[in-house]
Amino acid sequence: MHPRSIPTGRRTPRAGVHAWTSASACALGNAGLHTALREGVSGLTRNDYPDSGLDTWIGRVRACDNHQVEESLQHLDSRNNRLADLGLGLDRFDERVAEVVDRLGAHRIGLIMGTSTASIGRTESAYAALDNDSFAAVFQQPEVHNPHSVGHYVATRLGIQGPSMSISTACSSSGKVFASAARWLQLGLVDAVVVGGVDSLCLSILHGFASLELVSTRPCRPYDAARDGINIGEAAAFALLLPEDTPGMELELKGFGETSDAWHMAQPHPQGRGARDAMRDALRGAGVTADDIGYVNLHGTATPANDATEAKALAEVFVDPVPASSTKGWTGHTLGAAGIVGAVTALDVLTSGHVPRTLNLDTPDPTLSYPVLTASTTTTRDHVMCNSFGFGGNNCSLVFGRCT
């Protein structure tokens, strides 16, 4: 490691985006995601998650149901780690990482995963099959029953030997992985960082959100006058980040904002204060103005409170509205994976110019203070933003752009 002393007044860390992929209910891989967004094909289906018995819709990754982790990693088996494994194999992502590992050395690669559920679904299964109030032999998996479960799995699977951690700030978890990775790279702690977000369907989440009366019995309708709650989704998404000055980079993380509402554990600040400040900080860090943004991928969960407060925050930041949509109608709300699922969607907009509409938005809520897209459009601007907000009042906004 190169010796460095702590500098003062450095500019916002940036990071080149070398590769990315995602697995969600609507698509496996980047080409599939682009087609689904363009053609308006949703991945939401009526809830059939085993033993849940709730009248709602979910974003279930069907390909995960029969996916297996490889034989040597069976001791780390869980639905969440299977989903991570499925995602790593898409768009040659694992091979792209292997190339960088070979070139830079495994100890020079870091890993930061965002997750809120980790492998809690596996812990639920262990509790449903207790043996004398102890976990049965098959569930004796210390590396699985903890918040870093997916981080440990992905680091092991990819052979990453540098610093490895998970971020768990509820639904902003995998937005914040980009900010932390950019700081690691700026400081030279590592020469590349694999970031990701993985959350999977489980009873804790389905019944937890049901207890808060926040799940809809219909496909979710973000920003609609009749919106009445979320659909829980699952997803795995990854990006490989390199230092900003790496030759050949086309896209980069340019800015980010991380704030707290300091208001309520489970309700957003009524004026969207924390969301507004996160977006402003991200723009400032990127050195751009609101008019430079060609698309905002919204948190847009379709709860009455989220969409109302996010709209207030948007109206303050984007006085002249820019194209913005929620893509939760394709994937459901993927919770701890939502930040990077939104980021991957925003990267698709940057590379294709196609701006997705808000699926299931039939009657825009006239009381909301920001006009979101009801029809798809195009953009040629060089910057996009994505928002993720979580319980505990934890907010993250990211700005990506073309390298200049």
Residues 18, 152, 333, 383: which is the catalytic one? 333
Give dist(CA 20, CA 155) in Å, integer: 16
Amino acid at 349: V
For other proteins, the closer CB: 138 or 226: 138
Residue 396 beta carbon to other proteins: minimum distance, rounded to whole angstroms: 8
Residue nearer to other proteins on the CB measure, 29 or 263: 263
Spatial distance between the Cα atoms of 197 and 167, rounded to a whole number of angstroms: 9
Q: How far apart are CA 151 and CA 112, in angstroms?
A: 7
Question: Given the complex with other proteins, which of 162 and 323 has the nearer CB atom?
Answer: 162
| Residue from 316, 304, 284, 303 nearest 383 by CA | 284
Q: What is the maximum alpha-carbon separation in the chain?
A: 63
Shortest distance in whole angstroms from residue 162 CB to other proteins: 5
Q: How far is the CB of 246 from other proteins (least distance, A)?
A: 19
For other proteins, the closer of residues 130 and 375 by Cβ is 130
Q: Say if strands 324-325 and 232-233 run parallel, antiparallel, or are unpaired.
A: unpaired
Active-site entry in 26, 64, 171, 386:
171
Spot the catalytic one: 299, 383, 386, 396: 299
Collect all residues with Cβ–Cβ distance below 8 Å to 254 and sequence separation of at least 6: 12, 14, 285, 286, 287, 288, 383, 399, 400, 401
CB of 289 to other proteins, least distance (A): 22
Q: How far is the CB of 285 from other proteins (least distance, A)?
A: 11
Nearer to other proteins by Cβ, of 171 and 242: the residue is 171
333 has catalytic annotation: yes
Residue 171 is among the residues annotated as catalytic for this protein: yes
**How many Å apart are CA 146 and CA 316, to the nearest integer?**
40
**Number of C-beta neighbours around residue 108 at 10 A:** 18
- Give the whole-angstrom CA distance, residue 143 versus residue 159: 16
Q: Which residues of 187-205 are buried (b: 16+ CB within 10 A; e: fewer)?
A: eebbbbbbbbbbbbbbbeb
Residue 96: count of CB within 10 angstroms of its CB = 17
Least distance to other proteins from the beta carbon of 203, Å? 4
Q: Which one, 34 or 152, has the nearer CB to other proteins?
A: 152
**Known catalytic residue: 107?**
no
Which residues are marked as active site? Answer: 171, 299, 333
